[in-house]
Chains A and B, each alone.
Chain A
């Protein structure tokens, strides 16, 4: 998919002069150097591959940025307007484009985004077995503990969730899993990406997705990414009260900062989550810093 959305000259440099599989992010800003994030390191992209020399860095034009967005929308910007309003766009293969530009408001509501000026292309990776070190810690006698994956942005939350669902499938845990893929990032569309026992609801708000999913698909486990809003917490409570387990993720860089996060007080006080997995980028994305129980005591 990356080949389809990037200008051919940029793609060829990435393919032949940089290890494409090692790239986590590609940042393009109008007339500014292209920056690659590789294994936690930021480096410029030049015509001969990666470079630390600012003068050699390729600088994308506004037209190039607009064209990438146009291509990523499959030549149909209008069809992804709801995503653009939230400042991102997800392609078929799960490549996520964070987009900078001008938000157009009308009557107090965001109507669309125009005048695109920057892009953060995040390349998803299937890191097989990345959840294995903690896999058994998340299983209870009755099923799966309600679990929250805590990590800063780009540290592998989504990859962890995806792999965990896959591991369940590979081990023939025939739980009915509902993947609520609000931003279209969890399922890469490749074979086996979310295993054999998962249903998927994409691009729905958690409040709607949880309610519809529980009623229609009767899952044992709901997997979802990036909790944050009050309505997400209400959706979690709705699921828990319906007897469904939750595996979710949240942005935070430590247990302390997580405990100070707004909206999560009731979940913490009621000990809704029985397991917390803390990820970091210390040794590259996906570094498992620890597993904690509902009392926030470290168990691994």
Chain B
């Protein structure tokens, strides 16, 4: 019984570490998806001139997952179901810092409001900023992502040693 309890404690510690590491991975994937979204916008705006809703609907499932529902919230805004506000846009997203939310909100707020040239320049400008955030998030993920799991394992083992 005692060993079973200790095993459970280690498992819980590892799981907590995994949750922390997932946050970093999700952030990295999210910013990467934003960069890809900008690339897609740039192409669609310049060539097909497809409307925003159709661009969002045309994203592949993986990219939609990585965007953590922000695409669905924006479509709901286009369909006039919700206003475009920070709270509604980032409804299910907890891993972003306030300044990151401000930047992304600004990006979505300016979408579709100008002609092809201006919109394209604007998207490229945001893309550059998202690329910076994306590389920072990747570094963080490498640094702290695996570290969190390791710390979880160590913490679990320390607890086991202390209890024994």
Inside 8 A of B114's CB, which chain A residues have their CB?
77-78, 114
CA distance A75 to B116 in the complex (A): 13
- CB <8 Å contact, A75 and B112: yes
Give A97-134 as 1s and 0s: 1 = Cβ < 8 Å from B's Cβ atoms. 00000000000000110100000000000000000000
Inside 8 A of B117's CB, which chain A residues have their CB?
111-112
B9 at interface by CB-CB < 8 Å: no
Inside 8 A of B45's CB, which chain A residues have their CB?
78
Name the interface size band of chain B.
10 to 19
- CB <8 Å contact, A75 and B51: yes
Q: Which of A61-90 contact B (CB under 8 A)?
A: 70, 73-79, 81, 84
CA distance A229 to B117 in the complex (A): 29
- CB <8 Å contact, B111 and A79: no
- CB <8 Å contact, A76 and B112: yes
B22 at interface by CB-CB < 8 Å: no
A17 at interface by CB-CB < 8 Å: no
CA distance A70 to B113 in the complex (A): 7
B102 at interface by CB-CB < 8 Å: no
Inside 8 A of B78's CB, which chain A residues have their CB?
74-75
- CB <8 Å contact, B53 and A75: yes
Inside 8 A of A112's CB, which chain B residues have their CB?
115-118
A298 at interface by CB-CB < 8 Å: no
Determine how close the nearest CB of chain B comes to the CB of A184; give it in whole angstroms. 15
A271 at interface by CB-CB < 8 Å: no
B50 at interface by CB-CB < 8 Å: yes
Q: Which of B50, B112, B116 contacts A73 (CB 8 A)?
A: B112
CA distance A79 to B119 in the complex (A): 10
Q: Which of A30-89 contact B (CB under 8 A)?
A: 70, 73-79, 81, 84
Inside 8 A of A114's CB, which chain B residues have their CB?
114-115
Inside 8 A of B80's CB, which chain A residues have their CB?
4
Please name the residue on chain B nearest to A8 by beta carbon: B80
Count A/B pairs, Cβ under 8 Å.
49
Q: A78 with B119: in contact, given A4-B80, A70-B112 (CB under 8 Å)?
A: yes
- CB <8 Å contact, A79 and B50: yes
Inside 8 A of A70's CB, which chain B residues have their CB?
112-113
- CB <8 Å contact, B113 and A79: no
Inside 8 A of B113's CB, which chain A residues have their CB?
70, 77
Inside 8 A of A76's CB, which chain B residues have their CB?
49-53, 112
From B50, B78, B113, B120, name the one whose CB has the most chain A CB atoms within 10 angstroms: B113
- CB <8 Å contact, B115 and A75: no
Inside 8 A of B112's CB, which chain A residues have their CB?
70, 73, 75-78
Inside 8 A of B51's CB, which chain A residues have their CB?
73-76, 79
- CB <8 Å contact, A78 and B115: yes
Please name the residue on chain B nearest to A84 by beta carbon: B115
CA distance A84 to B113 in the complex (A): 13
Inside 8 A of B118's CB, which chain A residues have their CB?
112
Inside 8 A of A111's CB, which chain B residues have their CB?
115, 117
Inside 8 A of A84's CB, which chain B residues have their CB?
115
CA distance A73 to B52 in the complex (A): 10
CA distance A111 to B53 in the complex (A): 25
Other A-B pairs beyond A81-B49, A112-B118, 4, CB < 8 Å: A73-B51, A73-B112, A112-B115, A112-B117
Residues of A within 8 A of B (CB): 4, 70, 73-79, 81, 84, 111-112, 114
Residues of B within 8 A of A (CB): 45, 49-53, 78, 80, 111-120
In the complex, 24 of the A-B residue pairs with CB atoms within 8 angstroms, ordered by the A residue number, are: A70-B112, A74-B51, A74-B52, A75-B51, A75-B53, A75-B78, A75-B111, A76-B51, A76-B52, A76-B53, A77-B112, A77-B113, A77-B114, A77-B115, A78-B112, A78-B119, A78-B120, A79-B50, A79-B51, A81-B115, A81-B116, A111-B115, A112-B116, A112-B118
